[in-house]
Amino acid sequence: MIHVYIGYDSRETIAFHVLSHSVHSRASEPVSITPLMLSELKSIFTREPHPLQSTDFSFSRFLVPYLSDYTGWSLFCDCDMLMLDDIAKLWSLRDDSCAVQVVKHEHKPKEDKKFLDQPQSKYEKKNWSSVILFNNARCTALTKDYVNTATGLELHQFKWLEDDTLIGSLPGRWNHLVDYDPSLQEDELSLIHFTEGGPYFDDYKDCGYANLWFTERDDMMHAGRDHI
């Protein structure tokens, strides 16, 4: 079973469901998807919202190893994404020598605001934590208490690991930053990330690869017999 946790924000409910559909519709192995909904984490996640956080799951993503009982592997993804490939291919990249595996972006956004006028924070290792393969047994530093009290930079810059050698790399195709990374052909992409704002927001309906997201949404909503 491939265990996936997806960030959930009520302002992006449609994004969560479209991403989930895109994962399941292409998967060649069983997949379990869990939304990180704050309403379901009230007894676990108690920290107050930070003025710089742009989504409800900015910090709750780091509860994934705890929620997984620190066993096996788990995958976290932001909700503003679209899977274009078989998630089993990503799952097969797990490396037991690593504590986590991420796409190591050099992302330096120039704008100060993103979707819904949210702050665009700038820091080292930005967007590394938007897709994380967690080797849960090697992430025991992420206790419930630590996730509730650590600073944003401590969490997102992986300062809870002994050193950066425990951060393994994933190919860039597994977290392609739309309208930041160079445009690629669809067959060169596996997981695209609408990090500035997804096409489900009016201000970003014409962003890169928006047509792929709308096609996926329409496919998810289809209920007719003739659909293949």
pLDDT value of position 115:
47
Distance between CA 71 and CA 73 in Å, rounded? 7
The whole-number average pLDDT for the span 18-44 is 96
Domain architecture of the chain: domains with CATH: 2-221 (3.90.550.10)
Higher pLDDT residue, 52 or 149? 149
pTM for this prediction? 0.89
Q: Residue 108: pLDDT band by 50, 70, 90 thresholds?
A: low
Tokens (6 digits) for 214: 């709308």
**pLDDT tens-digit series, residues 10-29:** 899 999 999 999 999 999 99
